[in-house]
Structures are given as structure tokens and as C-alpha cells.
Structure 1
Amino acid sequence: MFRPTSTAVIVTLAAAVALGPLSTDMYLPSLPGLTREFDTSVDRVQITLSVFLYGFAFAQLVYGPLADRFGRKPVMLGGLLLFVLSSLGCALATTIEQLIFFRFLQALGACGGPVLGRTMVRDIHGPVNAARVLSMMGSIMALAPAIAPVIGGYMLAWFEWRAVFIFLTGYALASMLLIAFKVPESLANENRSSLKPLVILGNFGLLLKHREYLGYTLCCSFIFSGLFAFLSGAPFVLIDYFKVPAQHSGIFYALASGGFLSGTLIAQRIGCRTGINGVLKRGTVISVLAGLSMVIPALLDIHYLWLTAITQIIYMCGVGMVMPQAMAGALAPFAKMTGTASSLLGFSQSLIAASIGMLVGHYHSGTPTTMAVSIAAMAILSLASLWLLVKPGRNRAINHPPEER
């Protein structure tokens, strides 16, 4: 069994958290081809992305309370088992309707990793050190979206899109074995909470009334939604508009992930000096500047592949700075209902991102404009959430979290 504070536990949890990004990023190069495979439309194929996030969102409202009552490990292992079975269903799908259905079930299983991975970090490392550890996990996780589209692109070239889901099945099985036999349970018995509906609703109500929790949660949700707007629109922008070969399109996702990795490393470097809020201020401003640099040329009907790539890399640097810090800020005050707080954060993040992804697919004009507008808007909303609700210029409380009442 690994020591709870060991690097091996961080890497294992990062691998479980990465299950969500892998489930979307790895088959992105396949999306244009699926329109021909199933003889359907772009927005119909895009639903296979958005339905995943909708399932991801709503299931998190269940995972958190269950994990606060029964422990992190058994709930996470149950989710991974569901993911394995539904991934096999995706690989065997013969219609777009079947693929959409199994993608929804796949999401119900996949969301246990991110919700409970964040929760276990908060359990083990406490409210302040969790920000540093989540940034470290973000650095490790950056490998997943960097490598996944490249692997997916070559799988598409060498085999077919079904190979992606077979790979995901094996990945989830390996994660199950590591978590079952090597990762210790992190929930202390004295912190286990009730599953009574009124208690659960009361906990959600407490979170929704907590101004800073809402600020950090919306800041994280909007910045992630900009990322998902890119994931939803980029396959059609890169492959159909800019004529990038499918097997090479993964390079652009890898470059964007390099931006995310840079952001997490910057956050780790400056976080001790500036605190969580200082990192968030810088990260949101970087994302807004990148979004504006992308959308203004797009609205002027100026479209260049290099411009789209560079501005997205810069935006992703901001995402890498913001997401781990905002997650840590949101969870910091809630030691006795960390799972519930994490699940509501994940619900908000996934629900907003899924809605933005569907809008990108529905209003896709054949150019990068819709994607660029969505990314810029989400960056601005992320910055607004931080300044209006958290007020980082005046409030430094997150560096010394209050005791939970």
C-alpha cells in the first residue's frame, strides 16, 4: 500500500482524474469521420461530446454525498467498473444513437475519478497544501490531453475509431487495480456524513450560500468551458476548415496541453508568494487577453492556423493557472463535506461546459468564429466571477481558511 502523502498516490489519482479528459480528447480526431460513418450531421456527432459532460455533471451530485458517507475508494471503484462496461458498449456501437447512449453511461462512470481525486487530495493534504498538490496533479494530467489526441489520430489512421474505446477499457482496468490494492482510504471515520436527503440538501444549500465558494466554482467552470469550446470546435476547424490531416491534428491539442502544463508550473512557482488569489488574478487576465486576441481577428474574418494555435496555447496557460487554484479555493473551508463540495463544483463545471459545447456545434459556421467567440466570452465571465464574488484584491481569507461551522 502506498503512503498517503507519497508521489505514487498523487500520480495514481492524477491518472484517475485524467479519465475524463482522455475520454473526450482521444477520439476528437474521429469526430469528422463519424459524420460519414453514421451518415449524420456535425451537431449530432457533437452531441457525443456534450452528452458525456451532461452525464458527467449530474452523476457528480451523487458521487460526492456517497463518498462522504461510505468512503472514497469503494465509490470510485464502482464508477470505474461502470466506465469499463460502457466503454466496451461504445466500441460495439453500430448507430449514432447507440454511441450517444453508451457515451452517457461512460460519463456516469468516468466522473468518479475527478470528483474523488480532488476530494482525496483535500483529505490528505489539507486546505492550503491542496492547491500545490492539485497543481502538481495538473502538471501530470497535462500529459493526457497532450498525448491522447496524437494517439487517437494514429489509431484512426492505423485501425479505426473503435480502437480508442478498447484502449480506454484497458486504461480503466489498470486504474481499478492500482486504486484497489495500492491507494489507502482517505476519509476519516469521524468525517463521515449522513445520507439523509434533508442533510444532503442542507449541505448543498450551505454551499450555494457561500459567496467565495460560488466565486471560485464559477471562475473554474467558465474557464473550463472555454477549453471545452475549443475541444468541441477544433476538430471541425482544424480538419475541415484548415485541412489538417486527422492523424496530424493531435499535434495542435498537444501544443495546447503544453500551454496548460506551463500554466500549472507557473502556478506552483508563484503560488507560495502570491497565494491562491494572486495566481487566479494573473491566470484569468492571461485567458481574457488570449480570448480577445483570438476573437477580434475572427470577427474581422481573418483566419490563420498559426494565429488560432498561438492564442489557444496562451489561453491554456491561463487555464492551467486557474483551474487547480480555483478548485483548492472552493474546497478549502469544507473538511466535513469535501466530497459534496467537489461534486457541486464538478456539476457546475460540466453543465456549463456541455451547454457551451452544444452551442458551438449548433452555431458552427464552417469557420473558427463561433469557437473564438465562445472562448473569449468564457474567459471574461471567469474573470468577472473572481472579481465580483471572491474580490481577490481585498480578501485573502483563503490563505488562512475559516473553521467549518
Structure 2
Amino acid sequence: MPENNPPLSALADPERRAAAAGQVMSSGLVVLALSLLLGIQPVTTDLYLPALPAITAEFGASLAQAQLTLSGMLLAFGLSQLVWGPVSDRFGRRPVLLAGLAGYTVAAAASALAQSMEALVVWRIVQGAAMGASVMCARALVRDLYCPELGARVISKGLTGLGVIACLNLPLGGFLAEAFGWRITLLAPALFAAAALGLVALRFRETLGTPNPRALAPSVLLRTWRQILAHPTFWAFTLLSAASYGGLFTILAMSSFVFITLMGMSKFGYGLLMVSMTASYLFGTVYCRHLLVRVGVRRAVTIGGGFSALGGTLLGVLALAGVDTPWGLMPAVWLFAIGHGIHQACGQAGAVGPFPQAAGAASALSGFLMMLVAFGMGSWLGLTVDGSLFPMASGVWFWGVVTALVAWGMVRRVRL
């Protein structure tokens, strides 16, 4: 069945109605919307990373405070999805997207004007809460329009678009920080969100076929969450995504300090270095689509687990061996990033797959648990950073092994 014709005649009536609404949008527009809605996350997390040491120095803040601009934002991002998900099941994806993107634009602009680290942390937290609407709705609308296996292929295309955006973030952030100062790296996400808001306002059509008028009733919401949390498929794919993101978050949170502060790279050079990681992630998303067609979801995830374990273990071994050059460490990061490109497409589609009538709530819970892992990792890094490579290397090593264990164990046993 062609991917620009998402509805399947065998699906339930609400799904056919959702697909009919989605047909107003071309498949290209759906992928573009997914790329922007998912891409707002790396824009928020990556673009300012080259400037993070300068921000920390200007405000005279500690490294733990600096980490809060990332980990605090991600915790708010995760928590907010628990609200946005049921709201979108009740009122639809489009109004939630409009509200979230508008709030994000305002918060991003305010963060660029912050006069203290405390104010910056607060506005970044507001940014994260608003960003939850965008990413949650992106995952939910895929389930609105597509069956789970086809959804994994479609979301992998959106993640490829995310990868292209992420490729531009770090070198652009390095250039902006060098040329115009760190505040511009915090203002740029506001412009990105404004562009996404314009696309949603002008071109996006509602994908939820039948809103649930009782989605926000406490008894219904608690029953829905209980059913989702009791489903082994949800846990298998959510833990897959969360463990893989835990490793990526470790790299994002620590790489600027390791490569710029510890190893002496320029901000722009660091940006180019990280482009190579994103290119590996891009390869992983494309390779994922190839694997899904050739060998299916389980085998694709099994192969991805191999990349995750190999990359994490190699980085740990290189650190123990005393390798202290950026390009000497990057082969391990590339391997991990390829695995991440495979796991995110399969994990995000798989977690919401069993819940066509509650895709928003399932997407929200999955996203919350993923960000809870990131917040916990950020808190741990803030306490254990010692001016060496080892916190980053050991963190990626740990999450690489955990990702592989989930891929080789839990995912293989669940019903797809």
C-alpha cells in the first residue's frame, strides 16, 4: 500500500475517519510537519550547547546550574506531556499544537533576554512545558493516520528530517555564539517555532477522527493510564526509546564541556564535530526503513541493539585506555548514534501502536518516562562531573548496554 494513502480498510471506524481527515494533507506535508514538530526538540537542546560554557561563565554559575537549563527543561517537557496528551485526545491535535507552539515562541524569546541563570532556568522550563505539545502530537498523529508498522516507517522519515535539522544546529549554534554572542543561540529557537506555528496554522488539518469527550474525566483518564501501563508492548518500546535517549542525552549534556573546555576545541569546530554524530544518526534512520522492509521490527531492533552496545562499550574502553582526542572518540559515538536512529523510530511508533483510541495519552506517558530518564541522568551528571571524560563515557556505556538488553530481551517477547 502506498505511504501517501494511510487508511487501511480493516481499521476501526474512528481510524478511517481520522485517515480521511489526514488525506487533506499530502504525505509530503505530513512528513514536513513531523520533521518540524519533532525537530523542535534538537533545536531546543542542541543549538545553544556551543554557548553553554560561555553562559555559565557570564552568570558565574556552577556546572550543576548550567545542567539545569537542559535537565530542568526536559523534566518539564516530560511532565507537560501528561497534560497535553489527554487534552489532545479530548479537543484534537491542531488546537494543542497551536497553543503549545505559541507558548514556546514566547518562552524562547524571553530566555534570550534572561538577566540571571535562575531566570534562564525558569524560562527554559516554560519552553520545555510548551515543547511537550509539539512532540507529543507528532507521535500521536502518526498513530491517528497509520497502522503501527507503517507508522514506524513514516516516523523514521520525520526523524530523518529531524536529523537534518539537528545537523545544522551545532555548527549554526557555534557560528552564532562566536559571531553574535550566546543570546542569539537562545533566540533562534523562537524563530524556528514561529515558522512551525505558521505551517500548523495555515496548512495542518486535524488528524483525530473522533475526539473523546470524556478523555479528561478523572476516572476515564486513570483507567486509560492503567491500561497503557499494564501493556507489555508499551513498556518494551518505551524503555527502548528511553534507554537509547539516555545515552544520547549524556552526549548532549557533556560533549561541549568535554570537547571545548577539556580538549580545547573551538565552538565552531565542536559544532562540526557533532555534525558527524548527527550524520550517523541520519544514516540510522534511513537504515531503519531498509530494515523494516527487509526483516521487520524485531530484527531491526535487534540489529540496532548491537550498534548501541558496541558504541557504548567502545567509548568506555577508549576512555579507560586514555584516548583524549575528539576524533579518536568519535567512532564510538557514531556507532551509538546509528543505533539511536533505529531505536527511536521503532520505539516511538511501537509504544503508541496498541492504543489507537488513546494515542495522545500513550504518547504522553512514553514521552514522560523518556524525559524522566533524561532528568535523572542530568542530575547524576551534575553531581559526578569531575573535569574528566569518564562521566560521559561511563554514562553512554551504561545506556548502550541497557538499550541492547531491552532490544534483545523485552522487544523480542512482546506482541506487535
TM-score normalised by length of structure 1: 0.94
**In the alignment, which residue of structure 1 is the partner of 2:151?**
130
**In the alignment, which residue of structure 2 is the partner of 1:244?**
265
From 345, 355, 363, the equivalent of 1:342 is 363
Judging changes above 3 Å, is the alpha-carbon distance between structure 1 residues 13 and 120 closer, same or farther for their aligned structure 2 residues?
Answer: same
| Cα displacement string for residues 361-393 of structure 1 (whole angstroms, at most 9, x for unaligned residues) | 321121211101001111111222234433x1x
Structure 1, 267-276 or 338-347: larger mean CA deviation: 267-276
**1:298 is aligned to 2:298:** no
Mapped to 1, the partners of 2:369 and 2:65 lie a distance apart of 23
Task: Assess if the C-alpha contact under 8 Å between 2:166 and 2:278 holds in 1.
Answer: yes
Q: 1:307, CA displacement in angstroms?
A: 2.4
**1:142 is aligned to 2:163:** yes
**In the alignment, which residue of structure 1 is the partner of 2:6?**
none
**In the alignment, which residue of structure 2 is the partner of 1:53?**
74
**In the alignment, which residue of structure 1 is the partner of 2:14?**
none
Judging changes above 3 Å, is the alpha-carbon distance between structure 1 residues 225 and 35 closer, same or farther for their aligned structure 2 residues?
Answer: same
> What is the number of equivalent residue pairs in this alignment?
395
Secondary structure at the counterpart of residue 194 of structure 1? coil
**In the alignment, which residue of structure 1 is the partner of 2:287?**
266
Task: Assess if the C-alpha contact under 8 Å between 1:149 and 1:254 holds in 2.
Answer: yes
Task: Assess if the C-alpha contact under 8 Å between 2:91 and 2:211 holds in 1.
Answer: no
Mapped to 2, the partners of 1:142 and 1:192 lie a distance apart of 36
Task: Assess if the C-alpha contact under 8 Å between 2:156 and 2:286 holds in 1.
Answer: yes
**In the alignment, which residue of structure 1 is the partner of 2:25?**
4
| Cα displacement string for residues 279-317 of structure 1 (whole angstroms, at most 9, x for unaligned residues) | 111101111111000102213433332222111011100
| Cα displacement string for residues 312-334 of structure 1 (whole angstroms, at most 9, x for unaligned residues) | 01110000011111111111111
Task: Assess if the C-alpha contact under 8 Å between 2:71 and 2:375 holds in 1.
Answer: yes
From 184, 197, 203, the equivalent of 2:224 is 203
Q: 1:151, CA displacement in angstroms?
A: 0.7
**In the alignment, which residue of structure 2 is the partner of 1:78?**
99
Mapped to 2, the partners of 1:66 and 1:94 lie a distance apart of 34
**1:331 is aligned to 2:352:** yes
**In the alignment, which residue of structure 2 is the partner of 1:120?**
141
Mapped to 2, the partners of 1:45 and 1:195 lie a distance apart of 36
Q: 1:105, CA displacement in angstroms?
A: 0.3
Structure 1 unpaired stretches of 5+: 399-405
**In the alignment, which residue of structure 2 is the partner of 1:403?**
none
TM-score normalised by length of structure 2: 0.92
Mapped to 2, the partners of 1:375 and 1:76 lie a distance apart of 33
**1:227 is aligned to 2:248:** yes
RMSD across aligned C-alpha pairs, in angstroms?
A: 1.5
Secondary structure at the counterpart of residue 142 of structure 1? helix
| Cα displacement string for residues 142-166 of structure 1 (whole angstroms, at most 9, x for unaligned residues) | 0122110111111011111111222
Judging changes above 3 Å, is the alpha-carbon distance between structure 1 residues 253 and 304 closer, same or farther for their aligned structure 2 residues?
Answer: same
**In the alignment, which residue of structure 2 is the partner of 1:401?**
none
Mapped to 2, the partners of 1:234 and 1:166 lie a distance apart of 22
Alignment of 1:91-170 (within 5 A): 91-170=112-191
**In the alignment, which residue of structure 1 is the partner of 2:16?**
none
**1:353 is aligned to 2:389:** no
Task: Assess if the C-alpha contact under 8 Å between 1:52 and 1:106 holds in 2.
Answer: yes
Task: Assess if the C-alpha contact under 8 Å between 1:122 and 1:331 holds in 2.
Answer: yes
**1:66 is aligned to 2:91:** no
Mapped to 2, the partners of 1:294 and 1:365 lie a distance apart of 18
Mapped to 1, the partners of 2:250 and 2:219 lie a distance apart of 36
Task: Assess if the C-alpha contact under 8 Å between 1:260 and 1:318 holds in 2.
Answer: yes
Q: 1:173, CA displacement in angstroms?
A: 1.2
Name the amino acid aligned to 1:40. A
Q: 1:339, CA displacement in angstroms?
A: 0.5
Task: Assess if the C-alpha contact under 8 Å between 2:32 and 2:158 holds in 1.
Answer: yes
| Identical counterparts, % of pairs | 29
Mapped to 2, the partners of 1:363 and 1:267 lie a distance apart of 35
| Cα displacement string for residues 173-226 of structure 1 (whole angstroms, at most 9, x for unaligned residues) | 111111012011000126665210111111111111111210110111010110
Name the amino acid aligned to 1:144. I
**1:214 is aligned to 2:235:** yes
Mapped to 1, the partners of 2:273 and 2:303 lie a distance apart of 24
Task: Assess if the C-alpha contact under 8 Å between 1:64 and 1:116 holds in 2.
Answer: yes
**1:15 is aligned to 2:36:** yes
Task: Assess if the C-alpha contact under 8 Å between 1:4 and 1:124 holds in 2.
Answer: no
| Cα displacement string for residues 90-149 of structure 1 (whole angstroms, at most 9, x for unaligned residues) | 011010000000000011111211110111111112222101001111111101221101
**1:88 is aligned to 2:109:** yes
Secondary structure at the counterpart of residue 146 of structure 2? helix
Structure 1, 9-18 or 184-193: larger mean CA deviation: 184-193
Mapped to 2, the partners of 1:212 and 1:53 lie a distance apart of 24
From 61, 78, 84, the equivalent of 1:40 is 61
Task: Assess if the C-alpha contact under 8 Å between 1:223 and 1:319 holds in 2.
Answer: yes
Mapped to 1, the partners of 2:240 and 2:395 lie a distance apart of 15
Name the amino acid aligned to 1:381. V
Q: 1:6, CA displacement in angstroms?
A: 1.9
From 371, 378, 381, the equivalent of 2:399 is 378
Mapped to 1, the partners of 2:326 and 2:106 lie a distance apart of 39
Secondary structure at the counterpart of residue 385 of structure 1? helix
Secondary structure at the counterpart of residue 40 of structure 1? coil
| Cα displacement string for residues 44-68 of structure 1 (whole angstroms, at most 9, x for unaligned residues) | 1111111110100100101110000
From 277, 287, 294, the equivalent of 1:256 is 277
Structure 1, 7-16 or 64-73: larger mean CA deviation: 7-16
